[in-house]
Amino acid sequence: MNRKIARNIAIVSVVFILTFSIMLVTNYFQVKNFNPLQAEVIETLKQINDENSGNTQLQEQIRQLDLMARRAYFVRTDHLMTGVYILMGMLIVFIAATRYYFRKTKDIPDKEIDPIDEWAEKTQARKYLNWLAGSVATGALAFAFLSSPYLKSGKEKEKDELIVETVQPEEEYNENTSFGELPADTVRSAEEIPVAGNTVAAVAAGDTVVAVAKPEVPKVTHNSFRGNNSGAVTAAKNIPTRWDLSTGENITWKSEIPRQGYNSPVINGNKIFITGADEQARELYCYDLNTGALLWQLAAENIAGSPAQMPKTTEDTGLAAPTVTTNGKQVAAIFATGDLLCADMDGKRLWAKNLGVPANHYGYASSLLSFGNMLIVQYDNSDSPRLFALDMANGAERWSKTRIDKITWSSPIITYVDKKPQLILMGNPNITSYNPTNGEQNWAVKFLSGEVASSPCSSAGLVFGASEYASLIAVDAANGEKLWEASDYLPEVSSPAATEDNVYVATSYGVIACYNAKSGELKTFHETDTEFYSSPVIAEGKIYLFSNSGKAFIYSANSELTPVNSFETGERTFATPAFTDSRMIVRSENRLYCVQKPQS
């Protein structure tokens, strides 16, 4: 390539740079003052939507128009980014061409030469040309990124997110989707459709405009086994005390589960997480809270150290007994193979590792627990029991402690004493408190024996632990002092729940008992002639509990254990339910279902 060709390439590339720079700057000024989030429009559309909530045909048209608008939105974004890439590419070409052009510059000979060459070589242009082009391109790139939706904060992106809820959420949009029977003159173009706040689209039908708002995100989370911090008490309200799977009474949806597991559901936002496993695969599942649709599934595969042959487990434990945990940014799952898997909320695998196949004659069952950005793992087994914390974002170890306790199937909890967190573990023979930030031990109380599967609970500064063939004790969490001990009725698998006044226990031989939390006095008990593996959870002053046969028991959380309702669901249930705003999610032996009062 001679210098003249290099010069021509540089001229063409700088023209491209100027053209695309002008386009990107113009785009910025066109969109910077555009604000689709107009409060008056939002309120008007919400009101009209409420007044026409039964018009499913219009809602279907809205959904289709929304999807068209969504496509146009992302096409515009793609075009913007394409312009950025072209601009950057042309800048590189320009710099390369000018560097080649000037690389052998000599004194200009005393003869007539091309005027452009003379200008380039005799002036200061060759010194500043690259800087000028680079500055123009950099400025244009800045304007491009300022106008890009990718730079919005998470909150703004959530507000602008284009989502529509319809009576048929499972139906997918495609190029051939029809606009149905709406007259042509009632359908406006995507450019005419206002998009405001949580409202995705509007359609004019005569003088009527209908808007559909995206589902609200529940405020109450249930991030681990038995709820946040595994506390067995939820802030959820307005949970039905009666439902019927056969008639659909107070049942919003029912969904099949691909693979078996005894772990319990967890809820964060509009997503539900569980796991399932068999000889062929170990998988993490995410379901939609509003529809029960399976949003994604992620297999625990291609993990270094993972065993080729599945460990032997008993039928009532299996390969997927531990409940997952989430902090709202990541979700982690563990299986009886020792495979630990972590994903983001959209199902993208972040990291995975094998902890070593746990030496466990029933199968590993301790549930995971999240504490801020840390993942807490109780890995008690007969070889090398230990407790450790990992960074949920990348799997890096934060701290690790060797345990002296024997193999257990219990799960950890977090409690707060004087606003300071304590990590409480059941073991054999100790119930132990650790500092969750660094793993340092606070105290330990020796009282347990046998095969410990029940998890602890806490309330009002007291920690309670119980296990069959041992006892039920209360410990002052501030100093590790044992306050009282009882042994009337003890759980085998089910974990206790507590309020400030009472502690509730469900046994494997069908007794539900209430103890005074401050004295240990047995207040009352009910014999149910059934078996409990599921744990009680307290919601709005009521205890919700499932027997293995699937019978639901609901009691008032008082000293008398006043019965509220009890009935057969018809589906065997071993997992503990999860709760959020006005909803309870139940995992039965083969499926997941949502209990919720009909929306008015």
What was the pLDDT predicted at 42?
A: 42
Q: Where are the domains of the chain?
A: 3-213
pLDDT grade for 21, boundaries at 50, 70 and 90: confident
Mean pLDDT of 213-223: 87
d(CA 287, CA 271): 6
d(CA 424, CA 332): 20
Identify the weakest region by mean pLDDT among 44-48, 148-152, 186-190: 186-190
Q: Across the chain, what does the average pLDDT equal?
A: 81
Contacts of 491 (CB under 8 A, 6+ apart): 454, 466, 467, 468, 505, 506, 507, 508, 532
pTM: 0.67
- For residue 218, give Cα distances in angstroms to 86, 222, 356, 538: 43, 10, 37, 18
What was the pLDDT predicted at 105?
A: 53
CB 552, CB 538: distance < 8 Å? no
pLDDT grade for 303, boundaries at 50, 70 and 90: very high
What was the pLDDT predicted at 17?
A: 78
CB 521, CB 490: distance < 8 Å? no
Phi-psi region of 99 (alpha: psi -120 to 50; beta: other; left: phi over 0): alpha
d(CA 363, CA 377): 15
Is pLDDT larger for residue 493 or for residue 13? Answer: 493
pLDDT grade for 176, boundaries at 50, 70 and 90: very low
Q: Return the bridge partners of 341, or none.
A: 333, 352
Mean pLDDT of 404-412: 92
Instruction: Determine how β-strand 481-486 pairs with β-strand 472-476.
Output: antiparallel
Is 96 exposed, middle or buried, given 0-12, 13-18 or 19+ CB atoms closer than 10 A?
Answer: middle
What was the pLDDT predicted at 599?
A: 80
d(CA 197, CA 160): 6
pLDDT grade for 5, boundaries at 50, 70 and 90: confident
Q: What is the DSSP string of 288-314?
A: ETTT--EEEEEE--S-TT--SSPPP--
Is pLDDT larger for residue 63 or for residue 324? Answer: 324
Instruction: Determine how β-strand 208-213 pairs with β-strand 578-580.
Output: unpaired
Contacts of 73 (CB under 8 A, 6+ apart): 162
Q: Give me the phi and psi of 51, to 5 degrees please.
A: -75, -20
Structure tokens at 409: 């199937």
- For residue 464, give Cα distances in angstroms to 302, 319, 481, 593: 40, 29, 12, 31
Total Cβ atoms within 10 A of residue 531: 18
What was the pLDDT predicted at 198?
A: 38
In the block, tokens 């680079």 appear at 134
Amino acid of residue 492: E
Residue range 153-168, pLDDT digits in tens: 444 444 333 333 333 3
CB 48, CB 55: distance < 8 Å? no
The interaxial angle of helices 56-102 and 125-146, nearest 10 deg, is 170
pLDDT grade for 43, boundaries at 50, 70 and 90: very low
Identify the weakest region by mean pLDDT among 197-206, 215-224, 456-465, 537-546: 197-206
Which strands make up the sheet holding 462-466, listed edge to edge? 457-459, 462-466, 472-476, 481-486
Is pLDDT larger for residue 546 or for residue 153? Answer: 546
Structure tokens at 59: 């809602």
Residue range 75-129, pLDDT digits in tens: 555 566 676 777 777 778 777 877 776 665 544 455 555 565 555 555 555 555 5
